[in-house]
């Protein structure tokens, strides 16, 4: 029986190989008889090299073995460009170092059934230290906790063009950890961690000093931070679901020129944190049910020259918290049933908040400053009680979104117990009639009378302003506002 098992373990499939002399003869016949440039010769040489490599690539059929060395031995035996096909079963292995361009996949029809179990031993399961490595369709589990090393199911260092997709990662300290790597793709993975405390938990997807990476369609739960990025450039994070993580669903710092599209961040300890970055684009995301004393839909801190649109903030303690934010456009978002829709501090300057729906929040806007260098333009506020005599869809009376009671709460938080009392309602009415304690400059001069629909039209059938009609750069908008006040916006609104 043992000999039969070993025969399976060493089975290698060879592709049909065309004699190499035919390859070279065909290439020579293809080359024109006229003089050709060195660049063309280089392209021909690269094509030949790639063709030879593909013709020589082998497929290794790998099966579990009692000694727990099946994958490690196959990696050692394989050559760059080979494929390791893992058949179903449990592989009790860890600290497998991949130093060559290999493809490691589950056998056909056995996705998720090939399980690599570290049994809480070693450091990481797979160490990737080569370019062009693909890992697909496997289950990896039981990576031990470490307080010195960042143990991970897959740890990638100094590699390019890696693909890690359709993996199921269970009970791992860190899930997928990339450092000083580039052009990698992390897609379609399911990551589940056993909740402990923050000090004994790692991140689901962790990128440090990486460029041009894509994180797409992952489902992450139970980690410290669902997705963590630090010192990255040109990252694309889209279509992910990050839920029930102990700290942040998404946490990134010092990461410029990144995009976050159509993600869902739900029920995370502190929501989403975006810090110390510039040129950040967040479009089409959902931030919901992030409750707690220090929980936010999104925490913006020291962000500049960025863009946020078509996001939904639903039932968060604070929808958007903005501190030290500058030259950022915030448009066509929905803030629904949050504690505070927007907390914007005096350090936030030259931002534009326009064409948003602010509906059913306990507080629409809170601030710690009586001055404001930000502009609020044509938003819909459910608390607005003004009128529209000229029937142009915009209110004729300005709206001040900062309630007097919110100013008092910022100074005395226990005052929240008076939230729905008659006294508070009387204070708000008095402040609307004779504004004295709320910021005079923080005002929406002409609010929308009806909620905006973001499919391309407003409820009153007037055209909704598109990105093409308006520049995305907040500085450009503010410059035009200073030159001709709100005429710039009204011309677009009524055409």
Q: What is the domain-level CATH number for residue 148? A: 2.160.20.10
Is 143 within 8 Å of 152 (Cβ atoms)?
Answer: yes
Q: Do both 200 and 283 map to the same domain? A: no
The predicted-structure confidence for 449-482, as pLDDT tens digits, reads as follows 999 987 543 333 333 333 333 344 666 666 665 5
H/E stretch holding 144: none
The token pair that represents 119 in the structure block: 């049994």
- Domain with 354 in it: 270-402+439-495
Q: Do both 209 and 298 map to the same domain? A: no
Counted residue by residue, the chain has a size of 495
Q: Do both 235 and 282 map to the same domain? A: no
Q: Does a structural domain hold residue 432?
A: no
Distance CA(479)–CA(249), nearest Å, equals 36
Measured in whole angstroms, the distance separating CA 8 from the mean position of its chain's CA atoms is: 42
What are the distances in angstroms from CA 48 to CA 24, 36, 41, 143, 277? 8, 17, 11, 42, 44
Q: Do both 37 and 114 map to the same domain? A: no
Question: pLDDT class for 353, splitting at 50, 70, 90?
Answer: very high
Q: Do both 129 and 274 map to the same domain? A: no
Q: Does a structural domain hold residue 413?
A: no
Distance CA(376)–CA(361), nearest Å, equals 17
Provide the total of helices (H) and of strands (E) in the chain, helices listed first: 8, 40
Is 185 within 8 Å of 178 (Cβ atoms)?
Answer: no
H/E stretch holding 476: helix 474-484
Q: Do both 100 and 213 map to the same domain? A: yes
The token pair that represents 410 in the structure block: 């910022």
Distance CA(149)–CA(323), nearest Å, equals 33
Q: How many domains does the chain have?
A: 3
Q: Do both 353 and 287 map to the same domain? A: yes
Residues 104-113, mean pLDDT to the nearest whole number: 92
pLDDT value of residue 7: 42
The predicted-structure confidence for 51-61, as pLDDT tens digits, reads as follows 555 456 799 99
Distance CA(258)–CA(308), nearest Å, equals 12
Is 335 within 8 Å of 320 (Cβ atoms)?
Answer: yes
Q: Do both 157 and 211 map to the same domain? A: yes
Percentage, residues of the chain above pLDDT 70: 74
Question: pLDDT class for 364, splitting at 50, 70, 90?
Answer: very high
| Backbone dihedral angles phi then psi of residue 190, each to the nearest 5 degrees | -115, 120
pTM of the predicted model as reported, rounded to 2 decimal places = 0.82
Q: Does a structural domain hold residue 360?
A: yes
The predicted-structure confidence for 417-429, as pLDDT tens digits, reads as follows 666 667 667 776 7
Cβ neighbourhood burial of 186 (10 Å; 0-12, 13-18, 19+): buried
Q: Do both 37 and 157 map to the same domain? A: no
Q: Do both 62 and 46 map to the same domain? A: no
Q: Does a structural domain hold residue 434?
A: no
pLDDT value of residue 494: 36
3-state secondary structure of 489: helix
The better pLDDT of the pair 256, 13 is held by 256
Q: What is the mean pLDDT of the chain?
A: 83
Q: Do both 139 and 207 map to the same domain? A: yes
Q: Does a structural domain hold residue 260?
A: no
Would the pLDDT of 430 be above 60? yes
Residues 14-36, mean pLDDT to the nearest whole number: 49
Number of neighbouring beta carbons within 10 Å of residue 197: 8
Q: Do both 343 and 469 map to the same domain? A: yes
Q: Does a structural domain hold residue 469?
A: yes
Q: Does a structural domain hold residue 389?
A: yes
Buried b (16+ CB within 10 A) or exposed e, 409-431: bbeeeeeeeeeeeeebeebbeeb
What lies within 8 Å, CB to CB, of 19 at 6+ separation is: none
Would the pLDDT of 288 be above 90? yes
Q: Does a structural domain hold residue 72?
A: yes
Worst-scoring range by mean pLDDT, 35-39, 80-84, 168-172, 252-256? Answer: 35-39
Buried b (16+ CB within 10 A) or exposed e, 304-341: bbbbbbbbbbbbbbbbbbbbbbbbbbbbbbbbbebbbb
What are the distances in angstroms from CA 431 to CA 244, 360, 369, 404, 436? 40, 20, 17, 6, 7
């Amino acid at each position: 029986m043992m000999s039969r098992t070993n025969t399976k373990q060493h089975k290698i499939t060879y592709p049909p190989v065309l004699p190499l002399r035919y390859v070279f003869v065909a290439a020579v016949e293809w080359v024109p008889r006229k003089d050709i440039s060195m660049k063309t010769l280089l392209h021909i040489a690269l094509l030949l090299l790639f063709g030879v490599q593909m013709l020589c690539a082998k497929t290794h059929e790998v099966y579990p073995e009692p000694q727990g060395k099946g994958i490690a031995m196959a990696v050692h035996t394989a050559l760059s460009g080979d494929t390791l096909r893992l058949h179903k079963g449990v592989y009790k292995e860890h600290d497998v170092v991949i130093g060559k361009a290999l493809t490691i996949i589950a056998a056909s029809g056995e996705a998720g059934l090939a399980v690599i179990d570290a049994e809480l031993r070693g450091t990481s399961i797979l160490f990737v230290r080569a370019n062009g490595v693909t890992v697909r369709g496997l289950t990896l589990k039981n990576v031990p906790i470490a307080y010195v090393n960042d143990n991970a199911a897959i740890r990638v260092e100094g590699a390019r063009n890696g693909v890690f997709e359709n993996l199921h990662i269970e009970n791992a300290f860190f899930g997928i950890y990339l450092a000083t790597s580039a052009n990698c793709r992390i897609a379609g993975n399911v990551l589940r961690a056993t909740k402990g405390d923050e000090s004994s938990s790692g991140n689901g997807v962790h990128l440090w000093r990486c460029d041009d990476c894509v994180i797409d369609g992952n489902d992450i739960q139970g980690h410290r931070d669902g997705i963590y990025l630090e010192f990255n450039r040109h990252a694309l994070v889209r279509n992910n679901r990050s839920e029930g993580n102990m700290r942040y669903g998404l946490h990134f710092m010092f990461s410029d020129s990144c995009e976050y599209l159509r993600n869902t961040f739900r029920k995370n300890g502190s929501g989403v944190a975006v810090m110390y970055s510039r040129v950040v684009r967040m479009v089409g995301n959902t931030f919901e049910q992030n409750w707690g004393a220090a929980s936010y839909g999104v925490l913006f801190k020291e962000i500049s020259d960025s863009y946020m649109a078509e996001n939904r903030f639903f039932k968060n303690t604070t929808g958007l918290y903005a501190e030290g934010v500058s030259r950022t456009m915030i448009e066509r978002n929905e803030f629904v049933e949050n504690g505070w829709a927007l907390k914007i501090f005096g350090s936030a300057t030259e931002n534009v908040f326009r064409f948003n729906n602010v509906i059913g929040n306990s507080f629409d806007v809170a601030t710690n400053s009586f001055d404001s260098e930000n502009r609020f333009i044509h938003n819909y506020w459910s608390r607005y009680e003004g009128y529209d005599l000229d029937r142009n869809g915009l209110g004729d009376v300005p709206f001040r979104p900062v309630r007097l009671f919110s100013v008092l709460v910022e100074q005395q938080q226990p005052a929240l117990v008076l939230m729905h009392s008659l006294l508070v309602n009387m204070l708000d009415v008095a402040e609307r009639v004779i504004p004295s304690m709320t910021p005079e400059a923080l005002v929406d001069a002409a609010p929308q009378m009806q909620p905006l629909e973001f499919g391309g039209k407003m409820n009153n059938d007037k055209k909704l302003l598109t990105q093409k009609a308006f520049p995305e750069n907040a500085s450009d908008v503010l410059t035009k506002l200073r030159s001709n006040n709100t005429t710039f916006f009204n011309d677009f609104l009524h055409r």
